[in-house]
Structure 1
Amino acid sequence: MSAGGAVGEETVEIRGGVELPALREHIELRTDDGLILVGELAVPADRRPVATLVTLHPLPTHGGFMDSHILRKAAARLPELADLAVLRFNTRGTTSPRGTSEGSFGDGVAERADVAAAMAFVAERGLPHPWLVGWSFGTELAVKYGLEHPIDGAILLSPPLHRASDIELARWAHSGKRLIALIPEHDDYLRPDEARERFAVVPDAILIAVDGGKHLWVGENQTRRVLDEIVAVVNPAASPLPMEWTGPPA
């Protein structure tokens, strides 16, 4: 931290675990099959959000949860920097510092109800312009179930396309819902050339090949690239994101 801006304000370099101002609320989602899922809603501290990110985390059997770093940093930064609401939650059977969601891992099938519970919460709260933001396993849920809900579109981070079939993917073609996929150059599962073949069934999808990118988007440069791409789609007026923030000290 260093002094800057108006008297009493400080300038913070935005990186790592920096958490900018927002209203953060522990929430519970209730599924149609009777489970309680734990999560958090972060919204701008002093204004209405212009859009909403409904985040879907990586594979819980391989360490994915609502605090997976890209999603945690989206919630830490984007309410303040881009006027976005960010909803994070643990899918069934998943544990994080926030707590454990009821139920057990459903291999992307039972989680259909988890997505529906999140979208019901968005509707209940009147959160505007919802977008699904899936990462790895979360992209499978977005592709398979996103079109069942009133969303503006979906942003896919490192989509493996293991559980989502070509038929399910093709339903996005001419659906009126935008589909954007960030494909890391060095992804472990789906790299840019193969992704272009798989996404050919959705001619209006936007594929963004990220040079040097890896499946887990490790490092501040990759984090910034991902968050910048999300904001450029959802609220382009806030893009590119700043590298510093000036405001009252925490």
Structure 2
Amino acid sequence: MLEDRKPVSDNEAPVEIRAGVELPAIREEIELHTNDGLTLVGELATPEQRAPVATLVTLHPLPTAGGFMDSHILRKAAARLPALADLAVLRFNTRGTSSPRGTSDGEFGHGIEERADVAAAMSFVEQRHLPHPWLLGWSFGTELVLKYGLEHRIDGAILLSPPLHRTSEAELHKWNDAAPPLVALIPEHDDYLRPAEAAVRFAALPKIRRIDVAGGRHLWVGEAQTRRVLDEIVATVNPAASPLPTTWPAATG
């Protein structure tokens, strides 16, 4: 279930940043157009007062298991990080996926046809001149990152709870010779790939930065896990904004 949004402004007394809190940003409903003729629905959130320093292109969990652009970590990234870390956050529904924003054309493509969805998102980033794009995949979204991310100009990629179900060994090995850095957050209690197994599966990628998260779970449920994930994202993409504050407006001095 989605938490009710609670927009806050700079003029209010400080509030604790928790689930449902939406910090100031410019939020634009957007459409992506794939090379096979589909329209995908999404949202672009950008900082309200300044240009973004980097861009997160988010790829959601498995739509046949309830994943969509509003899956909570991605929604909270869009709600918080434009204000807290000067990041642009692009979210969208892959083909055949529905959310309150709407339904994207097409049908679930089992991670194959979604190649065109990733390309459409990256074309949008180029057309809008969004800076320093990083792919941020969660679960199924990490498979799309690993399979197709290197086909595009990216600064790097972050994997949340990678299951490594659809990614071949050959696709993994391509990242060894690639310049963009790869970071993976592995939950201690993941449903699919836990730290010990991840160490084996990612052994072929000596350059990967693997972060084993004690107490973490595949869905990163709870404010403590949400903050840990968002802190790791920001520490990677815009370290000057790390660690993230826990109140808004942020305390100074």
> Does the alignment reach a TM-score above 0.5?
yes
Please list the CA deviations of residues 120-152 of structure 1 after superposition, one character each: whole Å capped at 9, or x if unmatched. 000000000000000000000000000000001
Matches within 5 A, 1:55-134: 55-134=58-137
1:230 and 2:233 matched: yes
Structure 1 CA distance for aligned equivalents of residues 109 and 12 of structure 2? 48
Structure 2 CA distance for aligned equivalents of residues 122 and 190 of structure 1? 31
Structure 2 CA distance for aligned equivalents of residues 82 and 165 of structure 1? 34
Query: What is the Cα deviation at residue 165 of structure 1?
Result: 1.0
Structure 1 CA distance for aligned equivalents of residues 48 and 31 of structure 2? 21
Query: What is the Cα deviation at residue 174 of structure 1?
Result: 2.9
Q: Which amino acid aligns with 1:30?
A: H
SS at match of 1:25: strand
Structure 1 CA distance for aligned equivalents of residues 218 and 77 of structure 2? 17
Q: Is the 8 A contact 1:185 1:209 kept in 2?
A: yes
Aligned to 1:3: none
Q: Which amino acid aligns with 1:188?
A: D
RMSD of aligned alpha carbons: 1.0
Q: Which amino acid aligns with 1:240?
A: P
Q: Is the 8 A contact 1:52 1:87 kept in 2?
A: yes
Structure 2 CA distance for aligned equivalents of residues 189 and 40 of structure 1? 29
SS at match of 2:163: coil
1:28 and 2:31 matched: yes
1:219 and 2:225 matched: no
Q: Which amino acid aligns with 1:163?
A: R
1:18 and 2:21 matched: yes
Aligned to 1:202: 205
Please list the CA deviations of residues 74-125 of structure 1 after superposition, one character each: whole Å capped at 9, or x if unmatched. 0000000000000000000000000000000000000000000000000000
Q: Which amino acid aligns with 1:104?
A: E
Unaligned runs of 5+ in 2: 1-9
Query: What is the Cα deviation at residue 46 of structure 1?
Result: 1.1
Q: Which amino acid aligns with 1:219?
A: G
Aligned to 2:189: 186
With normalisation by structure 1, the TM-score equals: 0.95
Aligned to 2:5: none
Structure 2 CA distance for aligned equivalents of residues 86 and 235 of structure 1? 13
Structure 2 CA distance for aligned equivalents of residues 9 and 19 of structure 1? 13
Please list the CA deviations of residues 213-232 of structure 1 after superposition, one character each: whole Å capped at 9, or x if unmatched. 00000000000000000000
Query: What is the Cα deviation at residue 176 of structure 1?
Result: 0.5
Unaligned runs of 5+ in 1: 1-5
Sequence identity percentage = 75
SS at match of 1:27: strand
Structure 2 CA distance for aligned equivalents of residues 30 and 55 of structure 1? 16
Structure 2 CA distance for aligned equivalents of residues 166 and 188 of structure 1? 21
Structure 2 CA distance for aligned equivalents of residues 197 and 162 of structure 1? 14
Range with bigger deviation, 54-63 or 161-170: 161-170
Structure 1 CA distance for aligned equivalents of residues 94 and 46 of structure 2? 21
Q: Is the 8 A contact 1:174 1:204 kept in 2?
A: no
